[in-house]
Structure 1
Amino acid sequence: MTGAADWSGRVGRAWADEWRRTERAFAGIAAALDRAVAEIAPSSGRALDIGCGVGSTTLALADARPGMEVTGVDLAAALIAVARVRRAAVSGDARPVFEVGDAVAVASSLAPVDLMISRHGVMFFDDPVAGFAALRGAAAPGAPLVFSCFRARVENDWSHAVDRVLGVQPAGTGYAPGPYALADPAATADILRRAGWVDAAAVPHDVPYVVGAGDDPVADALAFYRRIGSAAAILAAAASDERASLEARLGEMLATRIHGGAVTFSAAIWIWTARAGEAA
């Protein structure tokens, strides 16, 4: 289970260190989400990117909607530091603001917010109904919400294939903060309804997920899994001889997934849209 505290600590630092690899992996997800956001985003007003990471979705929105005031927020100071460096390289008016902090608190400070978006950043609420309700409370009436999240773990080959090699057992059912917290569409629709969001709808997408490239794509993929995802904790906890055995088995599997010179899996995601309902 990955919670908010992890993102403000070790997980956030690991993702900041590995941001180029994670952005490469998330490129297919980003493309699907950016298209969905562009279809629904207003031309002006305030927008908030929740769990913005190193700012790719924030920057894409700012570029597509130069008339909007766009803010990206993340708990991880290390990720925001990278986002600010990337922002400094942007020319023209597409210059969003990046803040370290809790998304609910930042949303409240910006209220009323005219658009809320998130690329895989809303799966970590301890209480998802309360979290989404607080965001709805900061949204302008009818403001759109657009976010991506993973579908079921077994549908995500990038994760499930590694689980099989490492002997990871499926987690129990029910909500728990983490990458697959919003995988069940019926449960997520109920969360959004109870939180005051209306017209919620989810569209499935299957996108490529590249974890290794370059002169030695398998070694590059192993470097990714040592830091990112559930494999990282398992490999870190293993004794040196066991770790070597696990990595050898992973390497054999990764070699079978090389396509066009890159270790490529698939990622199964939802793109959710909803609107802020009237306050109760």
Structure 2
Amino acid sequence: MSVKCELCFHCCRLEEGQTGLCRARGNRGGQVVPLNYGRLTALALDPIEKKPLRRFHPGSMVLSVGSFGCNLDCPFCQNAGIAGAGEESATQFWSPELLAEEAVRLRSRGNIGVAYTYNEPLVGYEYVRDCAALVRRAGMYNVLVTNGTIGAEPWKELLPLIDAVNIDLKGFCEGWYRTLGGDLEAVKRAIVLAASTCHVEVTSLIVPGGNDGEEEMEALARWLASVGPDIPLHVSRFFPRRRMTDRPATPVETVYRLARIAQAHLRYVYTGNC
């Protein structure tokens, strides 16, 4: 029996045994199941600023966890080894209970909670939801680093458990988003919904010849300011990766110039990897 996964805009129609575009969700026994539930590819205690979050408990540490899979196909992905992988990934199983216990144990080292990151965490929606409930119950924070391409209803259901989120806004042109296998309107909606419930920061990676136009940054910054002028924007520098090694790193001056454009509309603008 075929089933439709309605977690994100792809709405994959899956036959029995098939796996979705994200490589992390599949039809097993006539139901959509998360194939990466509890299967971690990475676990580390990181500075909160690495997420990046600059205005959410700065100076703190956060237990960062990742699995495998992603519902986009960015040619410049720096974590393609896990984001572009599936069930074949080498993983270690961590139940939600174990992860919450580890987060509490690391309080003595400055840990404030759990960050779901590295790959696209929302393709493992059920695991994030279950862990977040236990972490919240333990009096700690839940941080999410996501591309924001999630359906409105599951996003609304999850947000009450999330304290801070960094959402990748990979540009402000639908054409550019299509080259990444994404959907700009879904990301904009995710930002708007999150901004009404938790701390939000936004990251834009500037790719030469892709999304580095001044008019595009002007439109992005104006729109983000309409959601909230205090939402921090991280303007980040591209480096050749994966299938996009044919172009140079973003000139530092380009990053600074676009940041200055954004600063005309937003209170907090940061530059990354410069």
TM-score (norm 2): 0.35
More helix by share: 1
Structure with more relative contact order (C-alpha pairs < 8 Å, separation 6 or more): 1
